[in-house]
Structure 1
Amino acid sequence: SVHPTTPARTRFAPSPTGYLHLGSLRTALYNYLLAKNTGGQFILRLEDTDRTRLVPDAEQNIYDSLKWCNLTIDEGPNEGGPYGPYRQSERMEIYKKYAQILVDSGHAYRCVCSKDRLLHLRETATKLKPPTTVTYDRKCLHEQEGQLIDSNDYVIRFKSPDTYEPFKDLVHGNLNLQPQYNYSDRRYDDFVIVKSDGMPTYHFANVVDDHLMKITHVIRGEEWLPSTPKHIALYNAFGWTPPKFTHIPLLTSLEDKKLSKRSGDIGILSLKEKGILPEALVNFVALFGWSPVRDAPGVSANESMSLEEIEEKFSLDHLTRGNAKVNDSKLFFFNKHHLHKALRDPTKIDQYVKEIFPRLSQLSHGKYSEADVKKLIQNLGSSLTSINEIETDHAYLFQPNDYSTFQKIGDPSKAALIVQALLDEPAGSFKSNVDVILQKHPELAKKDIFQTVRLALSGGKPGLNVPTLIDTLGEDAYKERLNSFLVYINN
């Protein structure tokens, strides 16, 4: 088993350069689940060192998205904690100190090569046969050994080992990832750890922070796999023990194309606006690369789970390797399941009423009270996939019908007869009125009456049974719509 038996300290370390999307939510969720399952801590750290790309409200969006999904943060910029600050931009002195340690121990050196020189090195590296995947020639390392470069405009490079140490990934097993060298024109993987403006690079800052914040497990997307040997080399240079690494599969569309923010990788809070429930979203995202254990051999695992159930079942032993396909129809399946479950809970119903009432009140020009909306949610409940469908699929409840858009009326004279007969009956039970009409008009079938009434009231839209539909509209609107429908047929 690769699942830890002691409390894990995990972190979610987004850059506030954009809004939280499905891919980053999945990373946050797996780190959160591992911490909760083992009784550990889940840390939020903001990697905000790339000042040029910061989006002003991205940090707030990250917080709002995690809060909406009920992922509680134990330590972070707003929560505080013993290993802060938790914003990288506030940790500059720390990085400076640790970069100097590497320079002093001979594991790093200053480099003053110009952009043009570095570009030339990159271009020549690709033309070598065999080509090399690393480009720097260590010019500044050799010059420095004789004298210290007197310049303020320099970067600090890590002096990489000749071969990287093989490592174990908890999903992919043992890996040995080496750069490709051309030994007749030797280049080195001496990556920059501090930029010329004094800002640390991602590789350097995340290693220093993970060590100082006592992170035990790093769960991240597999696009970081090629960088992991660099990170482990940094740990070794400091004499630190690296955390355990777990690289989770890419998210892809059903056509197996990588999800990007331009295609399919949706912002989390935009899903909230579409009526997706956080319980459904978390359930959906949890299965992008993890599958719960079956309760018994041969019994397929129940995939619909609450966050608490997922926390309890989550294990690194059941992570999968292949790309995770994102199937939106599955999200709607989970939404329906979690919505129906929620509608059995009176406090949840009240919460939905508060959410949707202002919009429905506007749609109905103030005709609907909160009590009406509550009754509506209870009546429609079992047919809904999302609470928003009340205003999209059942807009006929709030606005007069446009009969010209209705499906064709099969037999207008029969429809007119039914509507007139219903209008002639006194107000009262629809069911008893139907019985009376069937006695008076034996040529009619019960089905004809129900179909005609549904057409008159909702344009034939399913969702509510006819007596409930009449009850929802109220007696006045019911008669009003029958009259309008009759006028429409007779014209």
Structure 2
Amino acid sequence: MILLKIPTRSYCSPSKITKGMGLSPLKKSLLSKKIKENIHPSLPVRTRFAPSPTGFLHLGSLRTALYNYLLARNTNGQFLLRLEDTDQKRLVDGAEENIYDILKWCNINYDETPVKQSERKLIYDKYVKILLSSGMAYRCFCSKERLNDLRRSAMELKPPSMASYDRCCAHLGEEEVNLKLAQGKPFTVRFKSPERYPIFTDLLHGEINIQPQVNFNDKRYDDLILVKSDKLPTYHLANVVDDHLMGITHVIRGEEWLPSTPKHIALYDAFGWVCPKFIHIPLLTTVGDKKLSKRKGDMSILDLKKQGVLPEALINFCALFGWSPPRDLASKKHECFSMEELENLFNLDGLTKGNAKVDDKKLWFFNKHFLQKRISNPSTLRKLVDEIMPALESRYNTSTISREKIAKILLNCGSCLPKINDFSGEFYYFFDKPKYDDNDAVAKFLSKNESPHIARLLKKFGQFQEGTNAQDVESMVETMYYEGGFPRKVTYQAIRFALAGCHPGAKIAAMIDILGIKESNKRLSEGLEFLQRKK
């Protein structure tokens, strides 16, 4: 058993709980083995994603949704959506629609009509009455000022107490309560927390015992609020009631929710309900191991979509934040998975305990991979062309643009493209004259090779003949080497300078094929003229 006393409002990663606890290597090994055995369910599960529409979806939220979805699909179970929107003051316009849109875009499909907590007040009222009548809850009429004083004084104790309430209102008689109600005094409803919270088992981390830090010389209580003064339920009450009524069997959520878990289990016990199985997945951190937040590094999904990230790439990226594929695939360094493959492969036994480092370089690696798959498919290739057209038409002369040309560029040169949004900039030279002036790549090339030297090379190289292909270009470069003494590499660079302003990416033969012989020869001449002017 792992025993740790931590403040209820602070967070300690389970990976750190075992540190310094005096566990022998053998016990640690047995604990690890115990955790890893039979944690993946053999029967269909019911999972849920329960975001709060107080902001747009970020990377961490999407991973939570994905893991719950994959567990449901892998076990032939159900995946549900619930909007936890009882904190009306913090709701953000458009956030609810953003949740629906992002899940649909990512192909994370829920099985039943979404549940909105703001529409379930009467349900929560029913269960609050049950707790009040059983004495497991009570009305609290304390003012904000008094509660602030209690919190302040609790923190000044030595040691400080994170449980701050003194249960003043728990001792009010029925007559006194009714009088205050008749007077219209505002109140909250508090849960009468147990003396000690129950030990619980996390499927990933094993047995965990989290208790509030208390000062026994000045006893305070961790009586969480169930209903706010605006008569709406808090997250704690609504979460427990809804998970029970929706038949949720497994809850996958971030480690930051660990301190709330014993409180939720105490509520399940108060109602006499069986609680779901909990899996708290590791934090998302930067490469430097600092926790991601909406302000620091936790990327907005909508922003990523606008940047040109593909949903397939994003799903693949998120899946590997705390989950490893089967060993036979990992040993082959196979890490690119479609959603269908992830549904078949996902297993709780593959979850990892360490913090998941987010490196966006990996995201662009996946994006490039899935973009190539779209390019190679005629159906998705047409859709890519449709996406590209508007940006090109607003930027270049429409006479240089055609669907056939765009498709040809993608098929021949798209392998260097990390995202579709880069197309118009990456391949500008197919639609506009190459830039020789104010071009860093050209300046760098000419700093290593004097302009007169490259001018002589292009003049001797001459022009392309009709039907020139890759083999012909190679033959012409060889001739320049043996007859003119020009290095092969420099000759290729000189041609690229003339055709594309030294822009990398497309192969010379592909450029000639897409530009056409006439335009290619014209650019060779224009490149030569530019160099001759620089003498």
Q: Taking structure 1 as the reference length, what is the TM-score of the superposition?
A: 0.93
Amino acid at match of 2:64: T
Counterpart amino acid of residue 50 in structure 1? D
One-letter amino acid matched to 1:315: N
Distance in 2 (CA, whole Å) between partners of 1:113 and 1:91 is 27
TM-fit CA distance, 1:164? 0.9
Paired amino acid for 1:148: V
* Deviation sequence 1:57-108 (CA, Å, 0-9, x none): 111111111111111111233xxxxxxxx11111111111111111011111
Shift of 1:451: 2.2
Q: Does 1:390 align with 2:423?
A: yes
Whole-angstrom distance in 2 between the partners of 1:425 and 1:118: 84
User: What are the equivalent positions in structure 2 for 1:20-39 lying under 5 Å apart?
Assistant: 20-39=57-76
**Corresponding residue for residue 83 of structure 1:** none
Aligned residue number for residue 82 of structure 1: none
One-letter amino acid matched to 1:193: L
Alignment partner of 2:331: what SS?
A: coil
Alpha-carbon RMSD: 2.1
- Number of aligned residue pairs: 482
**Structure 1 counterpart of 2:484, one-letter code:** E
Question: Does structure 1 conserve the Cα–Cα contact (< 8 Å) formed by 2:137 and 2:189?
Answer: yes
Q: Which one-letter code corresponds to 1:130 in the other structure? A: P
Whether contact under 8 Å (2:255, 2:280) holds in the other structure is yes
CA distance in structure 2 between the aligned counterparts of 1:289 and 1:438, rounded to whole angstroms: 53
Change (3 A) 1:225 1:484: same
Shift of residue 439, structure 1, vs aligned partner = 6.0
More helix by share: 2
Say yes or no: does 1:131 pair with 2:160: yes
Matched residue SS, 2:138: strand
Alignment of 1:98 with 2:127, yes or no, is yes
**Structure 1 residues 134 and 422 mapped into 2: Cα distance closer, same or farther (>3 Å)?**
same
Query: Residues 439 and 268 from structure 1, CA distance in 2 versus in 1: closer, same or farther, beyond 3 angstroms?
Result: closer
How far apart are residue 461 of structure 1 and its match?
2.2
Question: How far apart, CA to CA, are the structure 2 residues paired with 1:439 and 1:395?
Answer: 30
Residue 332 of structure 1 corresponds to 364
CA contact under 8 A between 1:292 and 1:301: conserved in structure 2?
no
| Residues 416-475 of structure 1: CA deviation (Å, up to 9, x unaligned) | 234345556654426658757976992144544432111111122222111111112223
Quote the Cα distance in structure 1 between the aligned partners of 2:473 and 2:289: 57
Select 1:417's aligned residue among 447, 451, 456.
456
Q: 1:321 and 2:358 equivalent? A: no
**Counterparts of 2:146 and 2:215, CA distance in 1:** 19
Contact 2:477–2:492 at 8 Å: present in 1 too?
A: no
- Find the aligned partners of 1:109 and 1:436 in 2 and give their Cα distance: 90
Contact (CA 8 Å) 2:464, 2:521: kept in 1 or not?
no
Quote the Cα distance in structure 2 between the aligned partners of 1:471 and 1:126.
Answer: 75
**Given the alignment, which residue of 285, 295, 319 partners 1:262?**
295
In the TM superposition, what is the alpha-carbon distance from 1:269 to its structure 2 partner?
Answer: 2.1
TM-aligned CA distance change 1:295 to 1:199, over 3 Å? same
Please state if 1:208 is matched with 2:249.
no
Residue ranges of structure 1 left out of the alignment (5+ in a row): 78-85
SS at match of 2:327: coil
Report the Cα distance in structure 2 between the residues aligned to 1:4 and 1:143, rounded to whole angstroms: 47
Choose which of 378, 403, 413 in structure 1 pairs with 2:411. 378
1:433 and 1:260 mapped to 2: Cα distance? Answer: 53
The within-5 A match list for 1:362-373 is 362-366=394-398, 367-373=400-406
2:47 is paired with a residue of what secondary structure? strand
Contact 2:473-2:509 at 8 Å conserved across structures: no
Amino acid at match of 1:490: Q
- Look up the match of 2:517: 475
Task: Please show how residues 132-147 of structure 1 align to structure 2 within 5 Å.
Answer: 132-144=161-173, 147=176
**Structure 1 residue 344, shift from structure 2 partner:** 2.5
- Cα offsets for 1:83-142 (capped at 9, x unmatched): xxx111111111111111110111111110111111111111112223222011111111
Unaligned regions of 5+ residues in structure 2, if any? Answer: 1-37
Q: How does 1:169-184 map to 2 (within 5 A)?
A: 169-184=202-217
CA distance in 2, matches of 1:183, 1:437: 87
Choose which of 498, 502, 505 in structure 2 pairs with 1:463: 505
Task: Give, in angstroms, the shift of residue 320 of structure 1.
Answer: 1.1
2:374 to 322, 342, 345: 342
